[in-house]
Every structure is written in C-alpha cells, then in structure tokens.
Structure 1
Amino acid sequence: MINRSLPYFLEDRTGQFTGSSFDDIYDRLFLRVAHPTEGPGADTTLMLYNVGRRSSSQRDYRPLKRDPSVVLEFAPGGALGRISFVGSSIAMPMGQYLKKTSMFGSSLSRKFRASDGQEYRWTYRSVQDQEWSCFDSRNFLVAHYNLRPPEKPVFSTSGNILTIYEAYVHLSIEILASLTIMRHIAAHNL
C-alpha cells in the first residue's frame, strides 16, 4: 500500500520574513507575505495571502488582486502590534494571540490557539537541523522551518523551506502567520 501522506514543502523564495513567496515544490499550495503597496502603515504592515496554487512562472512580480487572509500590523519601532484574520471578526494584539509558553521562559517559545481550537507551540532551534519547530499539544511535530545555511551553495532553489505535515495543512495560513510573528520577535529581540 502506498502512503500518499506527503508533507507540504513550501520553498521560501527570499528567506526574509518581511516579504516572500512560499511555493509548494509539488504545486499544491502557494502562500505569499507582502507589504501593502500603498496607504498608511505600508512599511509596518504585512499581508498574508493563501493564493491556492501558483498561476504562472511570473508569480512573484504580479500584484495580487485579492484580499489577504491575515493582516499583521506591527507597532512603530518593531514592537508587536495587531493580528487580524480577514473574513472573520477575529482581531487581537499579537502578544495575546502568540503567548510565551512560560512566564520566565524564552521569548522564542510561544503558543497560539488555532482555528481548530487546538493549541500549537513554536520553539527556536529546539530540534537539531530545524531553525523553528511547531508542535501540537501532544508534542507531535506539525511544521518546521529551515533557512539555508550561508555556507551551502545556491542552486536552482533558495534552500529555505517551511515544511507543513499534511494533517495540518488546513492551518497553513495560521502556521505562516505565527511563524512570521516569531521571526519578527527574534529579529527585534522582543
């Protein structure tokens, strides 16, 4: 019997949390993180899109003509701001959405409650060969993110990969949103 349970391997084209395309290597899913093109807060706001599937090889250059799935509004000076899930009435401070796992623990270990009602936890470099790891409440690995080490050569791909296991792909936009906030926290030493 063939196991058709294949994780989603989303290549992060730039490796920058402030804007990139996440393209499944098997063309099953395409996510995008981008700044708004204009308007107030364009430099402190990130919009996350679930594009579904890639529509052309020019995917990174065309403007998106759709509403974002999630909007991340960071406060001035890099402080945490507000997360809004477009299409629902859910909007809250990022610190309330993504809480530290313990009062005196690292800021780089945080948990969030997803739309399925379950709690998930991100940790930084807690698993060998994984930059970021996401676990469910039973401590099963849900997703992980790896940046290409600078000493590794670049070929036809970026080498930056967000892996989401198939049972959790329905949470892909929430996984990417929480990971983006975690990477922002790490970059700004919050």
Structure 2
Amino acid sequence: MYRQQRPLPYVFEDRTGQLLGSDFDDMYDRLFFRVSRPVPNKPVTMIYDMGRRATRHRDSLPFKRDPIAILEFGQGESLGNITYCTQKGSTNVSIPMNRYLRKTSLFGGSLSRKFTGSDGREYRWSYRTTPGQEWTLTTGDNYLVAHFDLKPPDVWVMDVSGNTLTVYETFIHLSVEILATLTIMRHIAQYNL
C-alpha cells in the first residue's frame, strides 16, 4: 500500500545560536544562509545566500558575496531600515523596520509583530507562545509557517548545535523574509526595543 509522503520541512541548523555571526544550513543541503556584521562596530547586519554548507574555516577565507538582505540599525541599536537586495541593475528599496514589522496591536508588546510577505499575505511572529518554540511564525489565520528553537542548556547534543529554524515547505519561497524578520525580532528581544 502506497502512502503519500508529506513534504519535508526545511530545518536550518543555526550553528551558534547567537544573534550575529551564524550560519543557517538546511539539514538536507538545500539552502545555506549566513547572518553577520561584516564591519565591526557598525550596526549593519547582512544576510547572505552562501550556496554551500558552512565549514570550520569559513571565517578565515576571503569573503566576496553580495548580501540578499541588509538590516541597518540606528544609534544605540534602535530599529532602522531593511533592504531586500535584488539583482544587479535593479533598484533596492529600503523600508523602515517599524513600518515593515508592525506590532500586532496598538498596546501590544514588541515581541508580537506582523509583516506582509512578498506574496501579499500577512504573517505574525510571537515569542514563546508555543511550548518548546522560542519564536513562532503563523499566517494571519493561524497556520504554522516556521519556528525557531534554541537548544535548552541542559540538553546534550553531538556534532550539531541543537538550535534550529524550521520553515515548512509551503512557505520556503519566503525563506529570506522569514530569516530577516526573525533576525529583527531577536534583535528587538536582545535590546529590549
């Protein structure tokens, strides 16, 4: 008897679990991203499509890639602008982060925000609202899109970090937007914005 297989989600291992300087590699080698601040002491975070799995020697190699997203933070790490980079020759448009990633309610907290994806749908990030998930992303009608999980400090893992970003296959076309908005949400939490 043949059973139809459900699509495999993209499970990105967050190599460090830190806000900056981490690689996100899909466990099935389909997509590879890096989030870093290439210029020390400058509040600009870049997201790169790496094209291959991270290695232990990545940081010692010359880095010559164009970013796919730029997160420019303001003075004191305040929210600034986000830019999704298009192909060369096209104009990139910067959007203020507060306008792009809005609070879900007027008097709501900063750790629950929504954005409109490039597909025109509304998506919502929430912090620790689902057991076992650090961050949860849902559609406007509460369908699970992605979640970010940090390894609990008392759990031992071997050869992996235990930190993961899971993006369900139906929404993989938004992977850059998901990673960019997650990075902003984690920034908001870290700096109490």
TM-score (norm 2): 0.90
Indicate the larger mover: 170-179 or 28-37.
28-37
For structure 1, the residue ranges without an aligned partner over 5 or more in a row are none
Q: Quote how far apart the aligned CAs of 1:64 are.
A: 3.5
Alignment partner of 1:14 out of 13, 16, 24: 16
Q: Does 1:174 align with 2:173?
A: no
1:141 pairs, out of 123, 135, 144, with 144
Q: Which runs of 5+ in 2 are unaligned?
A: none
Which of the numbers 57, 60, 75 marks the counterpart of 2:58?
60
What TM-score, normalized to structure 1?
0.91
What letter is aligned with 1:51?
M
SS in 2 for 1:84: strand
Amino acid at match of 2:33: L
Cα 1:63–1:23 change in 2 (3 A) is farther
Shift of 1:4: 4.9
State how many pairs are aligned.
186
| Match of residue 33, structure 2, among 28, 31, 34 | 31
Q: Give the percent of matched residue pairs that are identical in Structure 1 and Structure 2.
A: 54
What residue in structure 1 maps to residue 76 of structure 2?
77
**In the alignment, is the contact (CA less than 8 A) between 1:11 and 1:22 conserved in 2?**
yes
> Helix, strand or coil for the counterpart of 1:102?
coil
Q: 1:159 aligns with which of 156, 159, 162?
A: 162
Q: 1:184 aligns with which of 182, 187, 191?
A: 187
Residues 43-68 of structure 1 deviation map (CA, whole Å, 9 limit, x = unaligned): 311100122443x6456333442210
Counterparts of 2:5 and 2:157, CA distance in 1: 31
Tell me the equivalent position of 2:95. Answer: 92
- Counterpart-to-counterpart distance in 1, 2:176 and 2:80: 18
Spell out the pairing of 1:104-123 with structure 2 (5 A cutoff): 104-123=107-126
Distance 2:152 2:108 in 1: 27
